[in-house]
Amino acid sequence: MSTPLQPVITKAGLAAILRADNTGIAAQITHIALGTSGYTPSADQKSLVAQTAKYPIAGGERLSSTLLHLTALADGDRAFWVREIGFLLSDGTLLAVWSDSSTPLAYKSADTDLLLAYDLSLAALPADSVTIISNEAGLSLSLAGPLAAQAQALIAEQMRGLLQQDQLDQQDQWQRVAGEQIARLLLRMSEVEARQEADRNGLASAAVGNASAIIAEQLCGLQRQDQLDELAGSSRRAGAVLDNHSQRLLAAERRQVADREDLLVAAVCNAAAIIALQTLVIQNTFGA
């Protein structure tokens, strides 16, 4: 299976084709160049932006007057993403260039040869103006189809492996993020639980303190009530004693009044008796 490409024909490649056409011969594609830079190709390019390797054409055939099928074998121990492809003429001129700014075309691993098989559309060029020159020591065109299918399957498997690795990396990153979030949540839960425990202990201490204060106040109230009751009893007893003393004082005063009156009467009687006695003595002495 081949990868169809619609490359950008360069101005230098077009000029080379015109020069070859003036001599009555077709321009010859001899090599495929691979690079690692992804971008939008320009007709002003004379080379790839980041060329990594160049491989000779191993085989090819003309599918139509403007469509060529090319194969090449990317060997060696270099590993890189294929993001740009250049098709070189026999004099080294960059005939056409393909690249994509976001999607690589293939991956060349270090321990595996990569079979390149492309259907190259040259609709922008005169018909039959370009031909293919393959490496005699390269691949047989009869094997191009099966090898291309194998290469496509290998590329697809590599892409699946890379996608799976990306998914694994993404899952690992998500797990790390989730683990960090869980750790933060556990830490916050521990802090909240510690605060709750401290608040509960504080509330319990406050409740015990309040209960102790209430009990102490109740005991003080009971003591004050006992003191009030004792003072009331003392007051009642003092009142009874005072009333008794008042009654006794009143009785004594009454007795004193009566005794004073009796003494006055006695004094008057004594005075009268003395006067009478004196009168009698005088009469007896001097005669009346």
Whole-angstrom CA distances from 239 to 36, 225, 249 are 121, 20, 15
Q: Quote the pLDDT of residue 149.
A: 59
Look at residue 285 and tell me if it is in a domain: no
| Least confident stretch, 81-95, 133-147, 245-259, 260-274 | 133-147
Does one domain contain both 172 and 233? yes
Mean of the pLDDT values across residues 132-156?
57
Does one domain contain both 118 and 154? no
- Does the pLDDT value for residue 61 go beyond 50? yes
Look at residue 154 and tell me if it is in a domain: yes
d(CA 196, CA 106) in angstroms, rounded, equals 60
Mean of the pLDDT values across residues 63-79?
84
Would you give the distance in Å from CA 253 to the centre of its chain?
Answer: 102
Does one domain contain both 130 and 42? yes
Q: What's at 46, amino acid-wise? A: K
pLDDT-above-70 percentage for the chain: 88
Does one domain contain both 134 and 147? no
* Number of folded domains that form the chain: 2
Does one domain contain both 144 and 127? no
Does one domain contain both 59 and 130? yes
Mean of the pLDDT values across residues 171-198?
85
Neighbours of 97 (CB within 10 A): 25
Cβ pair 94, 86 in contact under 8 A: yes
Q: Quote the pLDDT of residue 88.
A: 92
Angle at 67 between CA 65 and CA 71, to 5 degrees: 130
Does one domain contain both 91 and 194? no
Using pLDDT thresholds of 50, 70 and 90, give the confidence band for residue 140: very low
d(CA 51, CA 13) in angstroms, rounded, equals 17
pLDDT-above-90 percentage for the chain: 14
Tell me: the pLDDT tens digits for 253-265? Answer: 888 888 888 888 8
Neighbours of 155 (CB within 10 A): 20
Place of tokens 């009687």: 269
Does one domain contain both 169 and 101? no
Mean of the pLDDT values across residues 194-201?
84
Which residues, 6+ apart, have CB-to-CB distance to 60 below 8 Å?
29, 68, 69, 70, 71, 132, 134, 141, 144
d(CA 144, CA 148) in angstroms, rounded, equals 6
Using pLDDT thresholds of 50, 70 and 90, give the confidence band for residue 196: confident
Look at residue 288 and tell me if it is in a domain: no
Does one domain contain both 97 and 158? no
Does one domain contain both 119 and 146? no
Final residue in a domain of this structure, among 91, 120, 139: 139
Does one domain contain both 221 and 150? yes
Final residue in a domain of this structure, among 83, 115, 139: 139
Of 30-39, 60-69, 73-82, 165-174, highest mean pLDDT: 30-39
Torsion angle, alpha carbons of 75, 37, 117, 109, to 10: 40
- Does the pLDDT value for residue 6 go beyond 80? yes
Q: Is this prediction's pTM over 0.85?
A: no
Domain that holds residue 125: 3-139
Neighbours of 176 (CB within 10 A): 10
What integer best gives the mean pLDDT of the chain?
81
Final residue in a domain of this structure, among 109, 139, 169: 139
Look at residue 17 and tell me if it is in a domain: yes
Does one domain contain both 175 and 124? no
Mean of the pLDDT values across residues 86-98?
91
Whole-angstrom CA distances from 213 to 220, 221, 223, 224, 225 are 10, 12, 15, 16, 18
Mean of the pLDDT values across residues 111-116?
82
- Does the pLDDT value for residue 141 go beyond 70? no
Look at residue 262 and tell me if it is in a domain: no
Burial label for 198, CB within 10 Å (0-12, 13-18, 19+), is exposed
Which residues, 6+ apart, have CB-to-CB distance to 86 below 8 Å?
32, 33, 34, 35, 47, 48, 51, 94, 95, 96, 97, 98
Using pLDDT thresholds of 50, 70 and 90, give the confidence band for residue 39: very high
